[in-house]
Amino acid sequence: KVVDPTLLLTREDYDKVRISTKCDKPYLLMYILGNPMACKVEEIFEYAKSRGLEVKYVTSGHADNYEHIYAQVGEWIDLIANAEMVITNSFHGTVFSLIYHTPFITIPLNNGYERMNTRVEELLMESRLTSQLYKGNLTQCSPNPDFSQFDIYRESQEKFSYDCLSKYIPDNR
């Protein structure tokens, strides 16, 4: 088993594709996939308001009446990198929050989608950041998580993954 390919690149690699979104006010980025999750969107808006943050809402097909942003990949990365906080139900939303050391909360999926939580739970366990998994109350998660264990995990998994890949995929340069 090798690490998710998004973890084989560094923040500096992703900075090369970032597109500035030029946000003037502090914001919470809400990146929600269309799957059912253990938290209501309204709760996230209330949480952002209690912290004095504007909400930037990026989604993929999530049907509700809130204003959404449709971001290109480079803009999406920039929104994560510059957010005061990210709240997401997405594995990759969590990954990029970790890469950019952006405080985050990961909302588990529910209503038949629970099996999709495994890889994000494993990633947070390996990074010693399971405290960032939503467990019924957004304020229970740390607003300032320690990313040092994630950095150690990412670097070790990058080396392990490249060693595995180079062993089984010949260099045909």
Helix/strand/coil (H, E, C) string of 4-64? CHHHHCCHHHHHCCCCCCCCCCCEEEEEEECCCECCCHHHHHHHHHHCCCEEEEEEECCCC
| Predicted local distance difference test score (pLDDT) of residue 167 | 85
| Predicted local distance difference test score (pLDDT) of residue 172 | 60
63 vs 116 pLDDT, higher one = 116
| Token reading at 35 | 């799957």
Name the pLDDT band for 89 (thresholds 50, 70, 90). very high
| Predicted local distance difference test score (pLDDT) of residue 67 | 86
Q: Is the pLDDT of residue 173 over 60?
A: no
How many other C-beta atoms are found inside a 10 Å radius of the C-beta of residue 151?
A: 14
Q: Is the pLDDT of residue 87 over 60?
A: yes
101 vs 158 pLDDT, higher one = 101
Provide the residue type at 105 as one letter.
I
| Token reading at 119 | 């890889």
| Cut 0.85: pTM above it | yes
The pair phi, psi for residue 15, each rounded to 5°, is -60, -25
